[in-house]
Copies of this chain bind each other. A is one copy, B any other.
Amino acid sequence: MRRQRSQPADHGRASRETILDGAFQAFTKGGYRDTAVDDIAAAAEISKGGIYFHFPTKEAIFRELMRTTADKLVGKVESTVAAESDPIARAEVAIRTVLEVFAGHRTMARLFFEAGAGGRGFQAETNVLHDRFANLIQSYLDDAVAQGTIPAIDTRITSVVWFGALDEVVARWLLADRPGRLEDAYPTLRALLLRSVGVTEARIAEVPAPTFPAAFPEQHR
């Protein structure tokens, strides 16, 4: 199968994107270690040599993919958050947005969660990602504390806790046999997190938080 050769106007941009797309698909099922460069090549309909013309190593592809994908997510969060001015409302919207984006892009979630499967050094990569989100959350919490909306607490640990909670909820959803709708977990998650930092019950009840049926399909006990 002869491939259409790219026009010179492409400047190689197109195929770079094509490779990234293929890499996304490939990494998405299988994680880093279980994905061979040949798999990426197949997914992107390009040769291995072609890939190495555009990228120096397999790891470089993965890193770029992670970075740009995270950028998109953070960008999305920051733009939706911009509509709110109250710091607690911002935190709420941030959490909700992450949930919604992942709900709509299960594969993207996979990318983030199977990133770890590249042992040693990728742990560091994941670390940066976690930090990024935790810091985002922490900034909202700090603001909330500063303006007296919530009592003074250790916002560093709190942001870690919030992130961990969010992370785990998404992780379980990803691994569930018959996953429900991820967004359905939001009302409960929101209430738990807001309560945890001492937001008043009145404030928590403010958004009626439609009582969906339990978001988690079944429990294996």
Copies of this protein in the complex? 2
The secondary structure that dominates the A interface is: helix
Q: Tell me if B196 and A193 are in contact (CB < 8 A).
A: yes
A114, A123, A130: residue with the most chain B Cβ atoms closer than 10 Å: A123
Contacts of A131 in B (CB 8 A): 220
A157 interfacial by beta-carbon distance below 8 Å: yes
A185-196 to B contact mask, C-beta < 8 Å, 1/0 = 100110111011
The 8 Å CB contact of A160, one of B119, B130, B154, B169, is B169
A14 interfacial by beta-carbon distance below 8 Å: no
A120 interfacial by beta-carbon distance below 8 Å: yes
Q: Tell me if B118 and A192 are in contact (CB < 8 A).
A: no
Q: Tell me if B195 and A157 are in contact (CB < 8 A).
A: no
A32, A188, A215, A220: residue with the most chain B Cβ atoms closer than 10 Å: A188
Please measure, in the bound complex, the distance between the C-alpha atom of A174 and the C-alpha atom of B146, giving whole angstroms: 30
Q: Point out residues on A near B: beta carbons under 8 Å.
A: 30-34, 114, 116-120, 122-124, 127, 130-131, 135, 138, 153-154, 156-158, 160-169, 171-172, 175, 185, 188-189, 191-193, 195-198, 214-216, 219-221
The 10 A-B pairs with the shortest beta carbon distances in the complex, nearest first, are A164-B168, A117-B119, A196-B196, A31-B119, A161-B165, A164-B164, A192-B196, A164-B165, A157-B188, A34-B119
